[in-house]
Structure 1
Amino acid sequence: MEDFNELIQTYFGPLNAHELSVIQSYFRKEQLAKNEIFTTSGEICNRLSMVKSGILRVFALSEDGKEITQWLSVKGFFVTDVMGFFFNQHNRWTIQAFTEAELLTISKTDYLQLCREFPKWTEIEKRFIIKCFAMMEDRIFSHLSMTAEERYNRYFEQNRELFHQVPLQYIASVLGMTPETFSRIRKRQSENS
């Protein structure tokens, strides 16, 4: 559970051993088979998980029926539908295991119990939501201020291993570009290497 404690410290700030132990006691190991659904669009997500291993894809269908991959969650990231889990609204996103995945999961019921039992959790939760917001803000800023090629380069540097593990159209979608644009950039990058 060292990974868990390290991730909790990274996302939620400095906590002592007792606090970490209390938080850890609410999370359970969960296995997902390849293609297994974590939560579906239109439902209300009832769990929050840390990815210990594997890849989960967060996606939705556009009005014209095209799949839009919003995020690829890998080891060390949390995964949930934020609107569903935190605000009890219907999920926009479907989350599916792209590979076999091992998760550490807290149910919504246990999450609420943790909030009651451990008052400091409210402050920790606030930091978590702010961190999620900051990540989304960073993605929006990069989409507005960077060229497609700059976004490609940045994502490649941060997620190099994903380029060999998932279909490239998923990465193109995450980056907000068509598969054709993505392919042109990828070809240019390989020619320049």
Structure 2
Amino acid sequence: MKDFNQLIQAYFGQLSNEDLEIVQSYFYEEKLQKNDFFTSSGKICDRLSIIKSGIFRIYAYSDGKEITQWISTENQLLTEIMGFFYQQPNRWTIQALTDTTIMTISKSNYLELCESFPKWNTIEKQFIVKCFAMLEDRVYSHLSMTAEERYDQYYRQNKELFNQVPLQYIASVLGMSAETISRIRKRKSENS
């Protein structure tokens, strides 16, 4: 894991050492075992975390099928946005795929941080803009790239996951069936 302060700055913008100490004081370390749930659909997520180590899967059920929305790894943020920010029941379930260590801020501490640290409102805005930018990138890739191009891009960015996570989860993240991802992999192995 990167240094906690570097991660805070990467997600929330440049802060002074004094400001970083204030923000860091609201986070605590937490460990989840493989298969533990960070949060579940229908509940309201009450925490936001940064992953120090381990892998999480964000998924939901639709028409009797599991849909993996994202696989989160070291140095990434973890929360269910609608639950955490809007107090609405979660759409997504977040489950540890491995033993994990996370740095967490509870919803109550988050609200306290907003009250006691006025700069946080500006920082939070920067964070939300980054979330939207990531979402736009993902939508753009699904609309403008072929399945094989999406596979190639995801593989370049997340090579290590292909040996740690079941392929059907990766296929779901990429918006394709397990059969499609298998065909792509077979075609690539034949051409190399």
Structure 1 residue 60 displacement after superposition: 0.2
CA distance in 2, matches of 1:45, 1:188: 41
Identity among equivalent positions (%) equals 66
Task: Name the residue aligned to 1:53.
Answer: 53
Using the TM superposition, give the Cα deviation of residue 121 of structure 1 relative to its aligned residue in structure 2, in angstroms.
0.5
Tell me which residue corresponds to 1:17: 17
Instruction: Confirm or deny: 8 A CA contact 2:2 2:75 kept in the other structure.
Output: no
Any gaps of 5 or more consecutive residues in structure 2? none
Q: Which stretches of structure 1, 4 residues or longer, exceed 3 Å deviation after superposition? A: none
SS of residue in 1 equivalent to 2:108: helix
Q: How large is the Cα RMSD of the aligned pairs?
A: 1.0
Q: How does 1:1-193 map to 2 (within 5 A)?
A: 3-62=3-62, 64-193=63-192
Please give the secondary structure, in 2, of the residue aligned with 1:140.
helix
Query: C-alpha separation between the residues in 2 aligned to 1:90 and 1:127?
Result: 24
C-alpha deviations, 1:65-122, integer Å up to 9, x for none?
A: 1000000000010010000000111100000000001000000000000001100001
Measure the CA separation in 1 of the matches of 2:110 and 2:172.
32
The answer on whether the counterparts of 2:171 and 2:178 sit within 8 Å (CA) in structure 1 is yes
Q: Structure 1, unaligned stretches of length 5 or more?
A: none
Q: Distance in 1 between matches of 2:60 and 2:16?
A: 39
* C-alpha separation in 1, matches of 2:91 and 2:9: 29
1:17 CA drift (Å) = 0.4
Amino acid corresponding to residue 46 of structure 2 in structure 1: N
Give, in angstroms, the shift of residue 29 of structure 1. Answer: 0.2
Report the Cα offset of residue 191 of structure 1. 2.1
Q: Distance in 1 between matches of 2:2 and 2:18?
A: 14
CA distance in 1, matches of 2:2, 2:145: 36
- Number of residues of Structure 1 aligned to a counterpart in Structure 2: 192
| Distance apart, 1:3 and its partner CA | 1.9
